[in-house]
Amino acid sequence: MSGINGVSWKNLKPSTPGRLLAWIAVPVLGVLACGLLLATSIGGVRGGLGLVGTQDEPEVVAASRLAFDLETMDGHVADILLIGNAAGLGESQSDAYQKFENYVSDADTQLELIGSGIKTIPNGPATYVSIENQLSQYTQYAAYAMYIDVQAHGQKAGRPPAAALQAYDHASTLMNDDGSGILAQAQILYTAEQLAESAPINAGYGTIWHLQLASGLLLAFIVIRLLIAQRRLSRAFRRTVNPLLALTTIGALIFGVLLFSALGAAKSAYGAQDLTGPSSVATLWQARATAADMHAAESRWLLQAGNLSAQRATAMTAEQQTFATGQRWIMALPILSGDVMPELNAYLDDDVQLTNSVLNGGTSDTHLLAAVAYDTGPSDAAYAKFDSGLTQIIGVDQQAFAAATVKGENGLVTWLWLPWLWMLATIALIVFGFAPRLREYR
Protein backbone atom coordinates (compact mmCIF):
# COMPACT_ATOMS: atom_id res chain seq x y z
CA MET A 1 0.00 0.00 0.00
CA SER A 2 2.79 2.36 0.76
CA GLY A 3 4.15 1.94 -2.75
CA ILE A 4 0.81 2.58 -4.31
CA ASN A 5 0.31 5.66 -2.15
CA GLY A 6 3.71 6.94 -3.07
CA VAL A 7 3.06 6.56 -6.78
CA SER A 8 -0.32 8.23 -6.45
CA TRP A 9 1.10 11.21 -4.60
CA LYS A 10 3.92 11.58 -7.07
CA ASN A 11 1.49 11.57 -9.95
CA LEU A 12 -0.52 14.29 -8.26
CA LYS A 13 2.44 16.68 -7.98
CA PRO A 14 2.50 19.31 -10.75
CA SER A 15 5.03 18.97 -13.50
CA THR A 16 7.89 21.43 -13.81
CA PRO A 17 6.06 23.54 -16.45
CA GLY A 18 3.04 23.61 -14.13
CA ARG A 19 5.16 24.83 -11.27
CA LEU A 20 6.70 27.49 -13.53
CA LEU A 21 3.25 28.67 -14.54
CA ALA A 22 2.26 28.87 -10.88
CA TRP A 23 5.38 30.90 -10.11
CA ILE A 24 4.39 33.27 -12.93
CA ALA A 25 0.70 33.49 -11.98
CA VAL A 26 1.16 34.43 -8.32
CA PRO A 27 3.20 37.65 -8.80
CA VAL A 28 1.23 38.53 -11.95
CA LEU A 29 -2.02 38.40 -9.96
CA GLY A 30 -0.42 40.62 -7.31
CA VAL A 31 0.68 43.12 -9.97
CA LEU A 32 -2.80 43.14 -11.50
CA ALA A 33 -4.41 43.74 -8.10
CA CYS A 34 -2.02 46.55 -7.19
CA GLY A 35 -2.11 48.21 -10.60
CA LEU A 36 -5.88 48.13 -10.93
CA LEU A 37 -6.34 49.39 -7.36
CA LEU A 38 -4.12 52.40 -8.02
CA ALA A 39 -5.48 53.07 -11.50
CA THR A 40 -9.05 53.23 -10.22
CA SER A 41 -8.31 55.21 -7.03
CA ILE A 42 -5.74 57.88 -7.84
CA GLY A 43 -8.21 59.83 -9.95
CA GLY A 44 -10.56 60.11 -6.98
CA VAL A 45 -7.76 61.40 -4.73
CA ARG A 46 -6.82 64.03 -7.30
CA GLY A 47 -10.47 64.92 -7.92
CA GLY A 48 -10.98 65.50 -4.20
CA LEU A 49 -8.18 68.07 -4.17
CA GLY A 50 -9.77 69.86 -7.10
CA LEU A 51 -13.23 69.77 -5.51
CA VAL A 52 -11.99 71.39 -2.31
CA GLY A 53 -9.86 73.94 -4.11
CA THR A 54 -12.35 75.12 -6.71
CA GLN A 55 -15.73 74.67 -5.01
CA ASP A 56 -15.68 74.03 -1.27
CA GLU A 57 -12.95 76.47 -0.25
CA PRO A 58 -14.44 79.48 -2.11
CA GLU A 59 -17.82 78.81 -0.48
CA VAL A 60 -16.32 78.58 3.03
CA VAL A 61 -14.34 81.78 2.47
CA ALA A 62 -17.46 83.45 1.03
CA ALA A 63 -19.38 82.59 4.22
CA SER A 64 -16.67 84.16 6.41
CA ARG A 65 -16.34 87.15 4.08
CA LEU A 66 -20.10 87.62 4.30
CA ALA A 67 -19.83 87.99 8.07
CA PHE A 68 -17.08 90.58 7.63
CA ASP A 69 -19.16 92.55 5.12
CA LEU A 70 -22.21 92.51 7.39
CA GLU A 71 -20.26 93.67 10.43
CA THR A 72 -18.52 96.43 8.49
CA MET A 73 -21.65 97.80 6.83
CA ASP A 74 -23.44 97.96 10.19
CA GLY A 75 -20.51 99.85 11.65
CA HIS A 76 -20.63 102.39 8.83
CA VAL A 77 -24.35 103.02 9.41
CA ALA A 78 -23.55 103.77 13.05
CA ASP A 79 -20.73 106.09 11.92
CA ILE A 80 -23.09 107.99 9.59
CA LEU A 81 -25.48 108.62 12.47
CA LEU A 82 -22.59 109.61 14.74
CA ILE A 83 -21.06 112.11 12.30
CA GLY A 84 -24.21 114.04 11.52
CA ASN A 85 -23.44 117.41 10.03
CA ALA A 86 -20.23 117.88 11.99
CA ALA A 87 -17.21 118.88 9.94
CA GLY A 88 -13.52 118.20 10.43
CA LEU A 89 -13.93 114.64 11.71
CA GLY A 90 -12.03 111.54 10.60
CA GLU A 91 -14.51 110.93 7.78
CA SER A 92 -17.61 112.53 6.33
CA GLN A 93 -21.10 111.12 6.00
CA SER A 94 -20.64 110.76 2.25
CA ASP A 95 -17.43 108.76 2.74
CA ALA A 96 -19.10 106.46 5.27
CA TYR A 97 -22.11 106.00 3.01
CA GLN A 98 -19.92 105.09 0.03
CA LYS A 99 -18.18 102.46 2.14
CA PHE A 100 -21.56 101.16 3.28
CA GLU A 101 -22.68 100.78 -0.33
CA ASN A 102 -19.46 98.97 -1.25
CA TYR A 103 -19.90 96.39 1.50
CA VAL A 104 -23.57 95.89 0.65
CA SER A 105 -22.48 95.09 -2.89
CA ASP A 106 -19.76 92.71 -1.71
CA ALA A 107 -22.19 90.99 0.67
CA ASP A 108 -24.50 90.35 -2.30
CA THR A 109 -21.55 88.87 -4.22
CA GLN A 110 -20.67 86.52 -1.38
CA LEU A 111 -24.30 85.46 -1.03
CA GLU A 112 -24.39 84.58 -4.73
CA LEU A 113 -21.24 82.49 -4.34
CA ILE A 114 -22.64 80.69 -1.30
CA GLY A 115 -25.93 80.13 -3.11
CA SER A 116 -24.23 78.18 -5.91
CA GLY A 117 -23.77 75.19 -3.62
CA ILE A 118 -26.31 75.85 -0.89
CA LYS A 119 -28.38 72.75 -1.66
CA THR A 120 -25.57 70.53 -0.41
CA ILE A 121 -25.78 72.12 3.06
CA PRO A 122 -28.25 70.71 5.63
CA ASN A 123 -31.02 73.32 6.09
CA GLY A 124 -28.91 75.54 3.85
CA PRO A 125 -31.64 76.76 1.48
CA ALA A 126 -33.95 77.82 4.34
CA THR A 127 -31.14 79.64 6.17
CA TYR A 128 -30.01 81.26 2.93
CA VAL A 129 -33.51 82.58 2.13
CA SER A 130 -33.88 83.86 5.70
CA ILE A 131 -30.61 85.79 5.44
CA GLU A 132 -31.66 87.30 2.14
CA ASN A 133 -35.05 88.38 3.50
CA GLN A 134 -33.68 89.85 6.72
CA LEU A 135 -30.83 91.58 4.90
CA SER A 136 -33.39 93.21 2.63
CA GLN A 137 -35.29 94.45 5.70
CA TYR A 138 -32.05 95.60 7.30
CA THR A 139 -31.02 97.71 4.33
CA GLN A 140 -34.49 99.29 4.22
CA TYR A 141 -34.36 100.27 7.91
CA ALA A 142 -30.75 101.44 7.60
CA ALA A 143 -31.54 103.49 4.49
CA TYR A 144 -34.51 105.07 6.27
CA ALA A 145 -32.39 105.92 9.32
CA MET A 146 -29.70 107.50 7.15
CA TYR A 147 -32.30 109.41 5.11
CA ILE A 148 -33.87 110.92 8.24
CA ASP A 149 -30.44 111.75 9.60
CA VAL A 150 -29.34 113.54 6.43
CA GLN A 151 -32.60 115.49 6.24
CA ALA A 152 -32.19 116.78 9.79
CA HIS A 153 -29.87 119.67 8.95
CA GLY A 154 -27.90 121.13 11.80
CA GLN A 155 -27.89 118.08 14.03
CA LYS A 156 -24.92 117.66 16.35
CA ALA A 157 -22.34 114.89 16.28
CA GLY A 158 -23.48 111.81 18.14
CA ARG A 159 -27.08 112.97 18.46
CA PRO A 160 -29.14 111.78 15.49
CA PRO A 161 -32.91 112.44 15.38
CA ALA A 162 -34.98 110.08 17.53
CA ALA A 163 -36.73 108.65 14.46
CA ALA A 164 -33.39 107.89 12.80
CA LEU A 165 -32.12 106.23 15.96
CA GLN A 166 -35.29 104.17 16.28
CA ALA A 167 -35.03 102.96 12.67
CA TYR A 168 -31.40 102.02 13.25
CA ASP A 169 -32.38 100.13 16.41
CA HIS A 170 -34.65 97.96 14.27
CA ALA A 171 -31.89 97.45 11.70
CA SER A 172 -29.29 96.63 14.37
CA THR A 173 -31.62 94.09 16.00
CA LEU A 174 -32.10 92.35 12.66
CA MET A 175 -28.36 92.24 12.21
CA ASN A 176 -27.09 91.43 15.71
CA ASP A 177 -29.77 89.40 17.49
CA ASP A 178 -27.97 86.46 19.10
CA GLY A 179 -30.65 83.91 18.27
CA SER A 180 -32.04 84.73 14.83
CA GLY A 181 -30.07 87.74 13.59
CA ILE A 182 -28.44 87.89 10.19
CA LEU A 183 -24.99 87.45 11.67
CA ALA A 184 -26.06 84.45 13.75
CA GLN A 185 -27.47 82.77 10.65
CA ALA A 186 -24.38 83.67 8.63
CA GLN A 187 -22.32 81.92 11.32
CA ILE A 188 -24.54 78.84 10.96
CA LEU A 189 -23.86 78.83 7.23
CA TYR A 190 -20.14 79.24 7.83
CA THR A 191 -20.04 76.28 10.22
CA ALA A 192 -22.08 74.14 7.82
CA GLU A 193 -19.81 75.08 4.91
CA GLN A 194 -16.78 74.11 7.00
CA LEU A 195 -18.30 70.70 7.74
CA ALA A 196 -19.14 70.22 4.06
CA GLU A 197 -15.57 71.14 3.11
CA SER A 198 -14.19 68.68 5.68
CA ALA A 199 -16.04 65.73 4.09
CA PRO A 200 -13.90 65.42 0.91
CA ILE A 201 -10.76 66.11 2.94
CA ASN A 202 -11.55 63.28 5.36
CA ALA A 203 -12.49 61.06 2.41
CA GLY A 204 -9.17 61.89 0.73
CA TYR A 205 -7.24 61.11 3.92
CA GLY A 206 -9.08 57.80 4.19
CA THR A 207 -8.46 56.85 0.56
CA ILE A 208 -4.77 57.68 0.82
CA TRP A 209 -4.39 55.66 4.02
CA HIS A 210 -6.09 52.62 2.48
CA LEU A 211 -4.04 52.97 -0.70
CA GLN A 212 -0.81 53.13 1.30
CA LEU A 213 -1.77 50.08 3.32
CA ALA A 214 -3.10 47.96 0.44
CA SER A 215 -0.44 48.90 -2.11
CA GLY A 216 2.31 48.53 0.48
CA LEU A 217 1.18 44.98 1.30
CA LEU A 218 0.72 44.06 -2.37
CA LEU A 219 4.10 45.44 -3.40
CA ALA A 220 5.78 43.62 -0.52
CA PHE A 221 4.02 40.43 -1.58
CA ILE A 222 5.11 40.93 -5.22
CA VAL A 223 8.74 41.54 -4.27
CA ILE A 224 8.82 38.55 -1.92
CA ARG A 225 7.27 36.26 -4.53
CA LEU A 226 9.75 37.44 -7.16
CA LEU A 227 12.66 36.81 -4.81
CA ILE A 228 11.32 33.34 -4.00
CA ALA A 229 10.85 32.60 -7.70
CA GLN A 230 14.38 33.67 -8.51
CA ARG A 231 15.76 31.51 -5.71
CA ARG A 232 13.82 28.50 -6.96
CA LEU A 233 14.93 29.12 -10.53
CA SER A 234 18.56 29.34 -9.49
CA ARG A 235 18.28 26.01 -7.71
CA ALA A 236 16.31 24.24 -10.42
CA PHE A 237 18.17 25.52 -13.47
CA ARG A 238 21.56 26.43 -12.08
CA ARG A 239 21.13 30.09 -12.97
CA THR A 240 22.59 32.54 -10.45
CA VAL A 241 20.51 35.54 -11.54
CA ASN A 242 17.57 35.98 -13.88
CA PRO A 243 18.18 39.49 -15.30
CA LEU A 244 14.56 40.22 -16.21
CA LEU A 245 13.17 39.08 -12.86
CA ALA A 246 15.87 41.03 -11.04
CA LEU A 247 14.94 44.11 -13.08
CA THR A 248 11.26 43.52 -12.24
CA THR A 249 12.05 43.33 -8.53
CA ILE A 250 14.09 46.53 -8.58
CA GLY A 251 11.36 48.22 -10.64
CA ALA A 252 8.71 47.25 -8.08
CA LEU A 253 10.81 48.71 -5.27
CA ILE A 254 11.37 51.97 -7.16
CA PHE A 255 7.68 52.12 -8.06
CA GLY A 256 6.76 51.71 -4.39
CA VAL A 257 9.08 54.51 -3.28
CA LEU A 258 7.70 56.87 -5.91
CA LEU A 259 4.13 55.88 -5.06
CA PHE A 260 4.49 56.53 -1.34
CA SER A 261 6.20 59.84 -2.08
CA ALA A 262 3.30 60.92 -4.31
CA LEU A 263 0.67 59.79 -1.81
CA GLY A 264 2.51 61.58 0.99
CA ALA A 265 2.55 64.80 -1.05
CA ALA A 266 -1.17 64.42 -1.75
CA LYS A 267 -1.81 63.93 1.96
CA SER A 268 0.13 67.11 2.71
CA ALA A 269 -1.93 68.95 0.08
CA TYR A 270 -5.14 67.83 1.78
CA GLY A 271 -3.70 69.04 5.09
CA ALA A 272 -2.97 72.45 3.57
CA GLN A 273 -6.59 72.61 2.38
CA ASP A 274 -8.02 72.14 5.87
CA LEU A 275 -10.01 75.30 6.65
CA THR A 276 -10.67 74.45 10.30
CA GLY A 277 -7.16 75.19 11.54
CA PRO A 278 -6.19 78.38 13.42
CA SER A 279 -4.08 79.65 10.52
CA SER A 280 -6.44 78.79 7.65
CA VAL A 281 -7.81 81.36 5.23
CA ALA A 282 -11.34 80.92 6.60
CA THR A 283 -10.21 81.40 10.21
CA LEU A 284 -8.31 84.54 9.25
CA TRP A 285 -11.43 85.90 7.57
CA GLN A 286 -13.29 85.10 10.78
CA ALA A 287 -10.66 87.09 12.63
CA ARG A 288 -11.22 89.98 10.26
CA ALA A 289 -14.98 89.72 10.78
CA THR A 290 -14.49 89.62 14.55
CA ALA A 291 -12.34 92.76 14.44
CA ALA A 292 -15.00 94.45 12.29
CA ASP A 293 -17.62 93.44 14.87
CA MET A 294 -15.48 94.98 17.62
CA HIS A 295 -15.09 98.18 15.63
CA ALA A 296 -18.83 98.35 14.91
CA ALA A 297 -19.60 97.66 18.58
CA GLU A 298 -17.39 100.60 19.49
CA SER A 299 -19.42 102.93 17.23
CA ARG A 300 -22.74 101.51 18.44
CA TRP A 301 -21.61 101.95 22.06
CA LEU A 302 -20.76 105.58 21.44
CA LEU A 303 -24.11 106.11 19.69
CA GLN A 304 -25.92 104.70 22.72
CA ALA A 305 -23.83 106.83 25.10
CA GLY A 306 -24.78 110.03 23.29
CA ASN A 307 -28.50 109.27 23.61
CA LEU A 308 -28.53 107.68 27.03
CA SER A 309 -31.55 106.04 28.65
CA ALA A 310 -32.02 102.99 30.85
CA GLN A 311 -32.54 100.80 27.80
CA ARG A 312 -29.52 102.25 26.05
CA ALA A 313 -27.37 101.79 29.16
CA THR A 314 -28.15 98.08 28.94
CA ALA A 315 -27.29 98.17 25.24
CA MET A 316 -23.97 99.84 26.08
CA THR A 317 -23.10 96.98 28.41
CA ALA A 318 -23.96 94.46 25.69
CA GLU A 319 -21.71 96.27 23.21
CA GLN A 320 -18.85 96.25 25.71
CA GLN A 321 -19.33 92.50 26.16
CA THR A 322 -19.30 92.04 22.39
CA PHE A 323 -16.03 93.93 22.18
CA ALA A 324 -14.45 92.01 25.07
CA THR A 325 -15.54 88.62 23.70
CA GLY A 326 -14.12 89.44 20.28
CA GLN A 327 -10.90 90.68 21.83
CA ARG A 328 -10.37 87.45 23.78
CA TRP A 329 -11.02 85.30 20.71
CA ILE A 330 -8.83 87.26 18.33
CA MET A 331 -5.97 87.55 20.81
CA ALA A 332 -5.92 83.75 21.16
CA LEU A 333 -5.08 83.17 17.48
CA PRO A 334 -1.40 82.17 17.33
CA ILE A 335 -0.90 83.38 13.77
CA LEU A 336 -1.66 86.95 14.88
CA SER A 337 1.22 86.98 17.33
CA GLY A 338 3.57 88.26 14.63
CA ASP A 339 3.50 91.32 12.44
CA VAL A 340 -0.07 92.49 13.09
CA MET A 341 -0.05 92.24 16.88
CA PRO A 342 1.42 95.75 17.39
CA GLU A 343 -1.36 97.19 15.20
CA LEU A 344 -3.99 95.24 17.13
CA ASN A 345 -2.61 96.42 20.47
CA ALA A 346 -2.55 100.00 19.22
CA TYR A 347 -6.20 99.74 18.21
CA LEU A 348 -7.16 98.22 21.58
CA ASP A 349 -5.33 101.03 23.38
CA ASP A 350 -7.28 103.58 21.33
CA ASP A 351 -10.54 101.90 22.30
CA VAL A 352 -9.63 102.11 25.99
CA GLN A 353 -8.83 105.79 25.57
CA LEU A 354 -12.13 106.41 23.77
CA THR A 355 -14.12 104.58 26.44
CA ASN A 356 -12.41 106.43 29.26
CA SER A 357 -12.92 109.80 27.57
CA VAL A 358 -16.69 109.22 27.52
CA LEU A 359 -17.00 107.64 30.95
CA ASN A 360 -14.81 110.26 32.62
CA GLY A 361 -15.61 113.34 30.53
CA GLY A 362 -19.34 112.86 30.14
CA THR A 363 -21.50 113.28 27.06
CA SER A 364 -21.87 117.01 26.72
CA ASP A 365 -21.93 118.27 23.15
CA THR A 366 -18.26 119.23 23.37
CA HIS A 367 -17.12 115.95 24.88
CA LEU A 368 -19.29 113.91 22.53
CA LEU A 369 -17.92 115.77 19.50
CA ALA A 370 -14.37 115.00 20.67
CA ALA A 371 -15.29 111.34 21.20
CA VAL A 372 -16.84 111.04 17.72
CA ALA A 373 -13.81 112.76 16.22
CA TYR A 374 -11.56 110.24 17.97
CA ASP A 375 -13.74 107.28 16.94
CA THR A 376 -13.78 108.27 13.27
CA GLY A 377 -10.19 109.54 13.33
CA PRO A 378 -7.31 107.97 15.31
CA SER A 379 -9.28 104.92 16.42
CA ASP A 380 -10.53 104.22 12.90
CA ALA A 381 -7.02 104.71 11.51
CA ALA A 382 -5.58 102.22 14.03
CA TYR A 383 -8.27 99.71 13.12
CA ALA A 384 -7.63 100.25 9.39
CA LYS A 385 -3.91 99.65 9.89
CA PHE A 386 -4.60 96.37 11.71
CA ASP A 387 -7.14 95.35 9.08
CA SER A 388 -4.65 96.07 6.31
CA GLY A 389 -1.98 93.92 7.96
CA LEU A 390 -4.47 91.10 8.46
CA THR A 391 -5.55 91.37 4.82
CA GLN A 392 -1.95 90.89 3.73
CA ILE A 393 -1.68 87.74 5.86
CA ILE A 394 -4.89 86.45 4.31
CA GLY A 395 -3.49 87.10 0.84
CA VAL A 396 -0.31 85.16 1.60
CA ASP A 397 -2.30 82.29 3.10
CA GLN A 398 -4.66 82.27 0.12
CA GLN A 399 -1.71 82.00 -2.25
CA ALA A 400 -0.27 79.15 -0.19
CA PHE A 401 -3.62 77.36 -0.31
CA ALA A 402 -3.87 77.72 -4.08
CA ALA A 403 -0.25 76.63 -4.54
CA ALA A 404 -0.77 73.55 -2.36
CA THR A 405 -3.86 72.61 -4.35
CA VAL A 406 -2.11 72.98 -7.70
CA LYS A 407 0.98 71.13 -6.46
CA GLY A 408 -1.13 68.28 -5.09
CA GLU A 409 -3.10 67.94 -8.32
CA ASN A 410 -0.04 68.18 -10.56
CA GLY A 411 1.81 65.65 -8.45
CA LEU A 412 -0.84 63.05 -9.23
CA VAL A 413 -1.18 63.68 -12.97
CA THR A 414 1.54 61.13 -13.77
CA TRP A 415 -0.17 58.59 -11.56
CA LEU A 416 -3.30 58.65 -13.67
CA TRP A 417 -1.42 56.53 -16.27
CA LEU A 418 1.73 55.28 -14.53
CA PRO A 419 0.01 52.34 -12.73
CA TRP A 420 -1.18 51.04 -16.11
CA LEU A 421 2.30 51.33 -17.62
CA TRP A 422 3.95 49.73 -14.59
CA MET A 423 1.39 46.92 -14.52
CA LEU A 424 1.84 46.05 -18.21
CA ALA A 425 5.63 46.40 -18.13
CA THR A 426 5.97 44.32 -14.97
CA ILE A 427 3.75 41.52 -16.29
CA ALA A 428 5.70 41.51 -19.55
CA LEU A 429 9.04 41.29 -17.72
CA ILE A 430 7.78 38.44 -15.54
CA VAL A 431 6.50 36.49 -18.54
CA PHE A 432 9.66 37.07 -20.57
CA GLY A 433 11.77 36.19 -17.55
CA PHE A 434 10.12 32.78 -17.27
CA ALA A 435 9.70 32.19 -21.01
CA PRO A 436 13.16 30.57 -21.61
CA ARG A 437 12.50 28.03 -18.87
CA LEU A 438 9.09 27.17 -20.27
CA ARG A 439 10.50 26.69 -23.78
CA GLU A 440 12.82 24.06 -22.45
CA TYR A 441 9.78 21.82 -21.90
CA ARG A 442 8.13 22.17 -25.28
Extents of the domains making up the chain: 16-439
More confident residue, 427 or 123: 427
CB atoms within 10 A of CB 331: 13
More confident residue, 377 or 139: 139
CA–CA distance, 367 with 305 (Å, rounded to integer):
11
Percent of the chain with pLDDT over 90: 39
CA–CA distance, 412 with 430 (Å, rounded to integer):
27
Per-residue pLDDT band at 98 (split at 50, 70, 90): very high
CA–CA distance, 276 with 49 (Å, rounded to integer):
16
Q: Is 74 helix (H, G, I), strand (E, B) or coil?
A: helix
CB atoms within 10 A of CB 44: 13
CA–CA distance, 109 with 115 (Å, rounded to integer):
10
CA–CA distance, 418 with 135 (Å, rounded to integer):
52
pLDDT tens digits for range 339-371: 678 888 888 888 888 888 787 777 777 888 888
How many Cα neighbours within 13 Å face the side chain of 18? Answer: 5
* 3-state DSSP percent of the chain in helix, strand and coil, to 5: 85, 0, 15
The pLDDT value recorded for residue 38 is 94
Convert 103-142 to b/e letters by CB count within 10 Å (16 or more is b).
Answer: bbebbeebbebbbebbeebeebeebbeebeebbeebbebb
Q: Flag the least confident range among 133-142, 177-186, 207-216, 425-434.
A: 425-434
Per-residue pLDDT band at 9 (split at 50, 70, 90): very low
Percent of the chain with pLDDT over 70: 90
The pLDDT value recorded for residue 13 is 47
Q: What is the 3-state secondary structure (H, E, C) of 116-174?
A: CCHHHCCCHHHHHHHHHHHHHHHHHHHHHHHHHHHHCCCCCCCCCCHHHHHHHHHHHHH
Average confidence score pLDDT of the chain: 85
pLDDT tens digits for range 286-334: 999 999 999 999 999 988 888 878 888 888 889 989 999 999 998 888 7
Question: Within the chain, what is the greatest distance between any pair of CA atoms?
Answer: 125
DSSP 88: S
Q: Give the pLDDT mean for 148-164.
A: 82
Per-residue pLDDT band at 8 (split at 50, 70, 90): very low
Identity of residue 335: I
pLDDT tens digits for range 401-427: 889 889 999 999 999 999 999 999 999
Q: Is 300 helix (H, G, I), strand (E, B) or coil?
A: helix
